[in-house]
Structure 1
Amino acid sequence: MAAIEVLARLVGENVILQTTLVLLVVFLATSWIFSNTRKLPPGPRGWPVVGNFFSLANGHRHLVLTDWSKTYGPVYRVNLAGKLMVVLSGYDIIHEALVKTADNFSSRPDNAIFKIINPQRLGIATAPFGTPWKEHRKFTLMSLREFGFGKRSMEGKILEESLAFQAELMKMGNQPFDISRMIQNAVTNVICSIVFGYRFEYNDDKFIHLMDTFDRGFSFNFFTQLAVFFPILRHVPGLGRGPKLIKEVLGTFRSFIKEELESHKKTFDPNDIRDLSDSYIKENKSRENDDETTFTDEYTECVLFDMFVAGTETTSTTMYWAFLYIVLNPDIQRKVQEEIHTVFGHDKPPSTAYRAQMPYTEAVLTEVGRTATIAPTSVYRATTRDTRFHGYHIPEGATVAANLWSVHYDPEHFPNPGKFDPGRFLDAQGQYRRDDHVIPFGLGPRMCLGKQLAEMELFLLITSLLQHFTFKLPEGADRPSTIGFNGASHAAKKFKLVAEPLA
């Protein structure tokens, strides 16, 4: 009897042991699976509270981010003052996220700077992914195409501006000057003609005030960023000026746009749609009885603001880079001029209809887009939902930075990437060779809305100017740096040139 009790006890203990082991294995497996599905990408360690902010709050954050990708891989995270940002590097990774799985990566973050710029999250550029954004982007593109956006009928407005640009250059004689304001004037006037139906004279007081406001608004620095991300610092003397400056600049532009919209309403004729403002007024009127519509004056002002500001800044900055590389590479400038004169002569206005006959010029403009990379991390995206990507968990609403610099300066694809070399985009016969790895306007549904217009402006303005002028560095001037700095965009440092009219 005692033996039977001992045996029963041993069997019971064995069952308990087996059960315990099974439960332990289940617990460990469940924990592993759960932790694996919630695994965040790796990333650099940061400081308490500020995270990696100080490592990135400088003029070369794109270089820091690119360097970190070599340590942490093509998908990694950084901590921006307690906010998660996932960085995507390399063409394949960026294309997979922004194109193949676009619905997961097409929103905008609800971060500190966007809250200042667009607290209600209206418009197109900084609006979240969703029906209103899709509706307004589609309507804006449709309206723009109706009056020539992306078509040769737009050439007349750009070439008209080129003539005004040339007249300003003639006034300079052979004196050194900074061409940035002239570029800004010309590009802004093209946008004005599309959005408001008219252009400014360069000496117009209102126009000068707007251009001065542009210069103030896009001169971000470390302390501006610091006070934006840490609101408590806005009470520190000297630091609080940054966010106030941003709001003042935005207020100036929005007042200007509101005033223009009201003026358009007074002269509106549904049978004569003059510009994008008229298109929106007509659409808004057609939906007046729809209580659910987002086609309102408030939303319209935000869309026009996006078009006016974003279209001016990006193209102006790219063109300034173009002139920097033109004066630094006189042999390249000479080859472009030879091609222009072969195709158009010295007097015939350039036209995009002949772009296919100008492979070298096309290659030069492509190389400008690559080397300048004016939006090194593109405009920040945000995930629309919890997302599983390359084995990592990326939570809904996480900021996503597509590191375009890592694509454009990939030495495996672009050998000696720091060299300005248009030959990268020419085949053995000297014909232009497109490269999908040049993506200055981004990828996917949130690609820059003004891509076609920007490409047309760059081609027409630069070819028409080089048709009539040679641009040089001033005699004895130091060679300008090709190392840019990050403000609102990746911009070239200021330099001076001389414009010599061609005989």
Structure 2
Amino acid sequence: MTFLSKTKMAAAQLVASFVGENVILQTTLVLLVVFVATSWFFNTPKNLPPGPRGWPIAGNIFSLATGHGFVTMTEWAKTYGPIYRIKLGNETNVVLSGYDVIHEAMVKRGEDFSSRPSNAILKFLNPEMLGIVGAPFGTPWKEHRKFTLMSLREFGFGKRSLEGKILEESVSLQAEIMKMGDRPFDISLMVQNAVTNVICSIVFGSRFEYNDEKFKRLMDALDQGLSFNFFGQLAIFFPTLRRVPGLGRAPKMIQNDLVTIRAYLREEMDSHKKTFDPNDIRDLIDSYVRENKSRENDDETTFTDDNTEWVLFDLFIAGAETTSTTLNWAFLYMILNPDIQEKVQKEIHSVLGHDQRPSTAHRAQMPYTEAVLTEVARIATILPSGVVHATSRDTSFHGYHIPEGTTVLTNLWSVHHDPEHFPNPGKFDPGRFLDSQGQYRRDDHVIPFGVGPRMCLGKQLAEMELFVFFTSLLQHFTFKLPEGAAKPSTTGISGVTHSPKNFELVAEPLA
């Protein structure tokens, strides 16, 4: 056989081998697609609400990644109705839109819709689903929520005695702002420091100086741990993507930041145990140490160090992030609406003058200020999809069957930006919440803390902080855009919360 013949034969064998492997590969892919489609068909519960078509495996993730997902979900409600379903990866989510449907599910049918899903992100953040925020609906959650609220009330939660701590922080915050002189600066970190210190004083019994190195590390971990974007979430939903260069970095960083926060909480718990005195309960940690000790011989108790750590984590994260983000939106809208800021200041000075400290008792005397804060909560909507819920049992709702454990998203954005209830919803207009006599008019359609059994337990504290910080700062400063600066955008950034993009302002002291 000649060399040429051998070469042709070898080439033919190579082509045959390649074609054969290609046929096997194609057959394998076809079988895989058939398997995925069949599994999806038979595993998808029947009589679920309708919803938009999604990609195989990924579902509707990519549709929600373009722009703001909550805006997309609000648009989908126009097509599929106030109750529809979406797929995030292989997980079915039911989306509730509009006030009536959300109120019916979360309040009138609260027992059915008050659990937490065991989805990819929650399992990533809190694998054992401990604490309060991530715990499923049931006796342990009820016990810890009730005990935490009872303990918080002992330390002034919802009472005027807590105002002293908030006012102390407002004075410290004013001092930090004064240091800036007439220079432009980003107020967000200062606000977060102040708000976090209020939580620290309740939970740990002490506050930090703003330049404390441990406090700085804690704030850095808090910022980074809560700022994961779409690609970070994608790598959490699909763990295999973490092997892709760049995608695996976000989940690892998030875990490291959360470990940093939890390590600090554990350190505080250990320190409190060493100095614990049952006759001197100093803070929330002491309350839990006392309760845990009283149940040491109960093998069934959920009052353990692990659960305590997660309760503290929930309070720390929720208390630090949501209130500070709302205040950042408030200052953004003040520099964009100087006429509204001036009206707020006139009302503050007419009630308090320039020296009297604000108190929640003054809220009834400041209807315009109250209306401004309500409009901030409405237009900014820092948790546009609410905190995720899940059905606690198989549920029939508006003719649809929703199986136990199904993730339920409450589209609060659709409530706060409903043009039927709030005409021209993109306009910042505090007048929506004032009657013809200029008195504050409460509106049940503003629900930034959610509704029902799992309404945010920090609602009273948050409202107190927002009023005291906002009024005390506007009592002493006028906030302005830096000279020559472009107007900041009111289009926010979607992370754990819906927060404003970074902006700078100038604080002009009032005489």
Please give the TM-score of this superposition, normalised by the length of structure 1: 0.92
Aligned CA RMSD, in angstroms, stands at 0.9
Aligned residue in 2 for 1:383? 391
Which sections of structure 2, spanning at least 5 residues, go unmatched? 1-44
Report the residue type matching 1:323 in the other structure. F
For 1:93 and 1:412, how far apart are their aligned partners in 2?
A: 15
Counterpart for residue 175 of structure 2: 167
The counterpart of 2:98, out of the listed 81, 90, 101, is 90
Question: Is the CA contact 2:225–2:255 (under 8 Å) kept in the aligned structure 1?
Answer: no
1:230 pairs, out of 216, 234, 238, with: 238
Equivalent of 2:199 in 171, 191, 197: 191
Structure 2 CA distance, aligned partners of 1:330 and 1:428?
A: 23
Which of 320, 324, 328 is equivalent to 1:316? 324
Cα distance in 2 for residues equivalent to 1:407 and 1:235? 39
CA distance in 2, matches of 1:57, 1:396: 27
Corresponding residue number in structure 1 for 2:218:
210
Aligned with 1:70 (options 64, 67, 78): 78
- Give the match's secondary structure for 1:76: strand
Quote the residue 2:11 is aligned against.
Answer: none
For residue 187 of structure 2, the aligned residue among 179, 201, 211 is: 179
Letter in 2 for 1:465: L
**Match for 1:405 among 413, 435, 451?**
413
Question: 2:280 aligned to 272, 278, 285, which one?
Answer: 272
Q: Note closer, same or farther for the CA distance 1:348–1:250 as it changes in structure 2 (3 Å cut).
A: same
Aligned equivalents of 1:444, 1:93: Cα separation in 2: 13
Structure 2 residue 421 is the aligned partner of structure 1 residue 393: no
Q: Is the 8 A contact 1:179 1:496 kept in 2?
A: yes
Moved over 6 A (4+): none
Matches within 5 A, 1:54-65: 54-65=62-73
**Which letter maps to 2:426?**
G
Could you tell me which of 438, 449, 458 is aligned with 1:450? Answer: 458
Rounded to whole Å, the distance in 2 between the matches of 1:274 and 1:439 is: 33
Look up the match of 2:476. Answer: 468
1:249 alignment partner, one of 228, 236, 257: 257
Q: SS at the partner of 1:148?
A: coil
Secondary structure of the structure 2 residue equivalent to 1:471: strand
Secondary structure of the equivalent of 2:111?
helix
The AA in structure 2 aligned to 1:168 is: E
Partner residue, 1:239? 247
Which amino acid counterpart does residue 365 of structure 2 have in structure 1?
Answer: Q
Aligned to 1:295: 303
Q: CA deviation at 1:169?
A: 0.5
The more displaced of 235-244 and 43-52 is: 235-244
In the alignment, what sits opposite 1:327? Answer: 335
Q: Is the aligned partner of 1:112 residue 2:123?
A: no
Contact 2:191 2:328 in 1 (8 A): yes
Deviation at 1:59, TM superposition (A): 4.9
Q: Distance in 1 between matches of 2:223 and 2:131?
A: 23
2:139 is aligned with 1:142: no
**Counterpart-to-counterpart distance in 2, 1:58 and 1:495:** 23
Matched-pair contact (CA < 8 Å) for 1:385–1:397: yes
Q: Structure 1, residues 413-467: CA drift from partner, whole Å, max 9, x if none? A: 0000000000000000000000000000001011111111000000000100111
Task: State the distance in 1 between where 2:229 and 2:145 align.
Answer: 31
The reply to whether residue 46 of structure 1 matches residue 48 of structure 2 is no
1:214 is displaced (CA, Å) by 1.6
2:197 and 2:129 map into 1 onto residues whose CA distance is 27
How far apart are residue 494 of structure 1 and its match?
A: 0.7
Match of 1:338 among 332, 343, 346: 346
Q: Distance in 1 between matches of 2:129 and 2:225?
A: 20
Partner Cα separation in structure 2 for residue 264 and residue 349 of structure 1: 33
Q: Distance in 2 between matches of 1:352 and 1:219?
A: 32
Q: 1:482 aligns with which of 452, 475, 490?
A: 490
Q: What secondary structure, in the 3-state scheme, does the structure 2 residue paired with 1:104 have?
A: coil
| CA–CA distance in structure 1, aligned partners of residues 363 and 420 of structure 2 | 29
Look up the equivalent residue of 1:253 and give its one-letter code: I
What residue in structure 2 maps to residue 417 of structure 1?
425
Check whether the contact 1:427–1:433 (CA below 8 A) recurs between aligned residues.
Answer: yes
CA distance, structure 2, for counterparts of residue 376 and residue 263 of structure 1: 38
Rounded Cα–Cα distance in structure 2 between residues aligned with 1:102 and 1:215: 32
2:208: which partner in 1? 200
**SS of the residue aligned with 1:429?**
coil
**1:83 offset after TM fit, Å?**
0.5
Unaligned runs of 5+ in 1: 1-36
Do the aligned residues in 1 keep the contact of 2:169 with 2:194 (CA within 8 Å)?
yes
Q: Secondary structure at the match of 1:401?
A: strand
Structure 1 CA distance, aligned partners of 2:67 and 2:172? 34
Identity between Structure 1 and Structure 2 (%): 75
